[in-house]
Structure 1
Amino acid sequence: MKKNILIIFFFVLSFGAFGQENLAEVISSLKDKPNLDLTEMDKAFAAFKRDSAAMRQLSEVSGFELGRIFGLNSLGVLARNTSNYKESIRLHQMALKAAEELKHAESIVSSLNMLGVSYRRLDEVRLALDYHKQALSISDKIKHKSESILRSTAVSLNSIGNIYLVLKQYELAEQQFTKSMEIEKKLENKLGLAINYQNIGIIKEAQNKLDAALQNYKTSLEYNLQIKSELGKIICENSIGQILIKQNKPEEGLRRILPTIALAEKLGDKYYITMAKVNSGWALSILKDYPNAEKYLQSGLEMAIANSFNSSTSEAYTHLAYLYESKGEYPKALENLKKKQEFSEKILNEENLRYTAELIVKYDNEKKESQIALLEKENELVKYRLFENQRIMIFAGVLLALLAGLLFIWYRQYQLKSEKKVLMLEQQMMRSQMNPHFLFNSLNSIKLYIINNEKENAVYYLNKFSKLIRAILSNSREKEISLKEELEMMELYVNIESIRFTEKIHYDVIIDESIDTERIKIPSMILQPFIENAIWHGLSNKVGDKNLKIYITNRVKGQISFEIVDNGIGRQKAQEIKENKVSKQNSIGLKLTKERLENFAKNINKEIVMDFEDMVDNNQQPLGTKAIIILPIK
């Protein structure tokens, strides 16, 4: 017996020494290698990544900073997988500090993403989003992207999608997952594809598209089985089980979910142990096995609270409320519903919603400022070209006939000044499109919904607001857009302006059947100043029903007519109110619009009409204002 123990002990020591020797060999082969990237390191250390002793040894190696950073991040992942999130964050922060001192972009991006994932597990939405946005920003600035940077970009996009998913921004979430999946397909990364299919399945499940969700979960499971990922199998089986429960197949769902508890316990991942227990309790409560259902739900709840899993805590309270309601224990059911609400608000609170809204607007405004800077550079280039052409033309005038030279110079100057004028107009319109007061008032209105706990209204108008901003920035790059796109933008604009009035604005567009809105091209945002004028000078001071209508007709062949009609207080009364105000601000929107329309018509040798009519009744009392614009069709 003693002999056998000694043999086993010797074997263990030999195996440990052999493992350390192998690790030392790998470190030695990589330590002085030039242009070493994280993908190469990941492959080299693949056999040691789950060995905490080996990774601790790697993190303490002197003279091999990339190895130290890799070891710290690997230890952070191991800590996260055992739900030790504080230790995980500490290790990733150490790795980030070392990467920043080394100025190694790949390691900085990887460390930022790892921190984002750990904070997301703790439902710290704001911090998670910050770290992933930083990682994505650094990746975008790298011209020649390595495989490691592409993988990190995919991780950033996927994690940002998960954050939007928590905040129920499903459209934004799916956009991020789709972008991430495109990168993973190029890299042929089956793990990344499995994760993205799983996440898209979650979106479809949230939208109650259960068949589509089930298909995505099964595709994710296939990829996880191919790469032999036990964790992926646990996640997919639970997701498939949830769908089966929702499809009134709780027995089938339970058969999928129950075995994953043991698998999760084997891995030591408390997050997925909690998820499997809560889901098992849910299925058992539907099957009316109340004692076992309560046992699993209470066990999952205790683990969720102990590890600050707010989402799982909320779900556990939801299913416990259903269980007690089914048993007729209504006070307990109500108590659990209240607790569920408390934890739901920790995830989707006013601060997170406001922060996400600010972040979206900030990101879009940064893009807009970049476009303005680009236009200014083009303007400088035109000035430079003007100066150079003047010199060239003067020189040519000396060599050629004086009269021909002078005529040519005059022609070039006129052409360049026109070009410069168009650029200046576009810059001025770009700046005036996004009125700071409009942005501020819109966000304030959305904030009021949040404060009044009208979350659905807040999310609804926040989505409309972000769509309008994106549409404006997208269309501002085009000199002309289709009439259909212009009308869609105007509808979003009126909807957002309308939320600040007690009486809703009744908005309607009447179009002649002969008009093809997709084929007709007009300058972008050309109707907005007229609509803004009608709302703030005509309708804002009116008591009662507020009506705004746009009539679009073909009056004459080759021309299109717009009539913007409001039932406001009329121009005379609006002018009196304006004169009585202490602060008088003169809008340049209509003036700029007229100049843009004249340039548009000039290019096709046609004239435009822009006029206003005061509408009155038989007693000469104002009935509103009609703005008339007649444009040549392009």
Structure 2
Amino acid sequence: MKRHLLISFSLLLVLLIPHSITAQSAPVQKSEKSKQVKISKVAEDLSNSLDANDEAKIAQNYERLANEFVNKGDNAKAEDYYKRALTSYTKLKLVDDKTRVTRSLAKVQENQKNFESAIKNYEVAGSLANDAVDEKINLNDANRLRTQASPAVQAGYVNSNIKLLKKDNKTDEVAAAYVQKAENSLQQMDKAVAIESYNKALVYAKDKPEEVIKIKNEIAKVYAADNQFDAAIGINEKLLTEAVKNQDFNTQIKQLQSLAKLYFKKEEPKKAVVSLKEAYDLASKNGCSAEAKKSLSALIQYYKTKGDDKESIALYENFFDNFDKLIQSDTTLIDAKTFQVTEDKIRQLEKEKTLKDELITKKNTFNYFLLGSILLLLLLFFFIVKALYSIKTKNKEIALQSLRREMNPHFIFNSLNSVNQFISENKELEANKYLTSYSNLMRNMMENSNKDFISLDKEVEQLKKYLDLEHLRFEDKFDFKISVDETLDTETVLIPNMIIQPHLENAIWHGLRYLDKKGFLHLNFQFAAGKVVVIIEDNGIGLTKSRELKTSNQKVHESRGLSNTKERIGLLNELYKKNISFEITEKEMPETGTIVRIIFL
């Protein structure tokens, strides 16, 4: 009956105390509650950053939460959050952060004996590292894990890392490397080197009380494995004294449990039972249900082997008398539940963030497509406008060419009539001279017919030939003069082709030709205020009288000549962005004649 009660009690312990709550080594002046509170706080920060969709803070909080789980000893959760931090840092293209987290991920995977993944991540961290020392350290760790079957070869990589870490002044990692060296030495059955390495690790971990406790416990285990129980007990008792001094109840409980194991091995069960009972009482009073379960289970197991059901029943009754109080005072259970709720919220926010990111991606894709379509339409519109503009420009150029090549039929017919007149009067010399000048003029005009602008010297030469030709026909009617301002560089100054000639023709044929005396025509090129000013001045009969004497055919010819000039000037201004202007004025009495003024910019 009593044995049946003991079995029922053992089963009840297993059911009532959650398996997920396992005791971890606690740092000085820090309880499991403070750890859980800190985890919950970081989880809440992560939740807020997810809600705000702040990728940088999300990455930082994932890493912080992973670090807290490492401190708690929960490598599985640490691995999960390191992976999430790595995803965010990768998205943000933060190489240094990505390198650091990849190495941290490799460490927790190594702690879980997932060596294949750890090797890969050590290699990735090495390839990402900007510093040659960091690269070598990570590659050493990858090779160390790759050569697990050979502890002696592993030792070489560990020693190399210790040197590199010391050189780089990475004290935290130096301590961890010495711990690795100690573990490697234990594999090679060299306990002396192991203890020496652990002691060196203590030097570099002195600012981390939690690590100091862990390392000292490992030293105690080495002594215990070598049956040096007094040395091991001495270490645990010192740790217990420090924990009592610092009111670190979790460390006190752990050290009492460790002392009980050592006393059992040393075959001093009474001392072991005292340590376990003290651990149980301390855990019960401070609401450490997991540790109370662990101590109570060890006591029951001992009493079972001794067949002492009376003590077992007493413990059983004591446990149930204090059960409600123990559960109520164990705030770690509440904190764990609080974290679970927060973690569920994190998962929900992560799903929402994923949906938001997908929507943003789709929206951005649509926006890019829309923007691309608009750009294509604008580009198409631009090409259409450009094509239309090119067509319009080409049409203007064609029109300009047509106007420029349009010869004055009166000039041609009159020239031929003059040749005919010279021949009928047996003036063969004058006829030959006239035809030669005429052919030279026509050749020059044809050579320049495809040019909108020609140099001033060529225009002056062409106009002189034209005036010489007209003077040969009307020698007794006028003389002429061409003046060019000395400040004008006739070779570089460009003026419109065949703009001046029609006005010279008008001056001769409609002004000077009707004079009773010999007239005078002056073509003057001036340079004023950065402009080329062309002045055509004659002392002919003037505009008014000329209109009275004109035939209808002559009026049409003069009108067409002026309109031709205006059209050409308008086209030149549009095509070449010029500001060419001209005006015709009649001299006031008593003088007669006209003045044509053309201004080129």
Higher relative contact order (CA 8 A, sep 6+): 2
Q: TM-score range by the shorter chain?
A: 0.3 to 0.5
Larger Rg: 2
Task: State the TM-score, normalized to the length of structure 2.
Answer: 0.35
